[in-house]
């Protein structure tokens, strides 16, 4: 399972600085370092760090376009939510809040993951949900 904090520890070339950012800004990167606003929710911090690391891995620098933001969001969501874990959580509950909580992600990250499923992933989830219905 992807662990963004471990990833950060393994990347001594990247410095994370906690600081207040401009209104509406939760985090930012220049492609080398990350600045993140303090937030009380661990899931938010985890997802935000994964998103900023995705920007760095994708070669994005300061002032990303909407397309680059989407790329980073999709990569972070895929890293944080393996398809098997997503299917397990969806079998357990259809409620997005519960699924997100079980996967230890925020709702935005869950929505991105669900909105960018590969057709094979959709098929896998459908099979898992159908198996649950057959077993019920």
pTM for the complete prediction?
0.93
**Exposed (0-12), middle (13-18) or buried (19+): which is 15, by Cβ within 10 Å?**
exposed
Query: Exposed, middle or buried: residue 90 (CB in 10 Å: 0-12, 13-18, 19+)?
Result: buried
Residue 71 lies in a domain: no
Q: Let me know whether 21 and 55 are in one domain.
A: yes
Residues 93 and 48 placed together within one structural domain of the fold: no
Reported as a single tens digit per residue, the pLDDT across 36-82 is 999 879 999 999 999 999 999 999 987 789 999 999 999 999 999 99
The answer to the question of residue 34 being in a domain is yes
Total of domains in the chain = 2
Indicate the SS3 state at residue 18: strand
């Amino acid at each position: 399972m992807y662990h963004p904090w471990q990833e950060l520890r393994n990347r001594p070339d990247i410095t994370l600085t906690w600081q207040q950012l401009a209104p509406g800004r939760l985090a930012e990167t220049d492609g080398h370092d990350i600045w993140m606003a303090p937030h009380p929710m661990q899931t938010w911090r985890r997802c935000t760090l994964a998103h900023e690391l995705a920007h760095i891995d994708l070669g994005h620098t300061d002032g990303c376009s909407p397309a680059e933001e989407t790329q980073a969001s999709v990569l972070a969501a895929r890293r944080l939510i393996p398809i098997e874990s997503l299917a397990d959580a969806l079998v357990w509950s259809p409620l997005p809040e519960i699924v997100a909580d079980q996967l230890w992600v925020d709702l935005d990250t869950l929505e991105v993951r669900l909105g960018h499923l590969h057709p094979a992933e959709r098929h896998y989830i459908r099979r898992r949900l159908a198996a649950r219905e057959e077993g019920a």
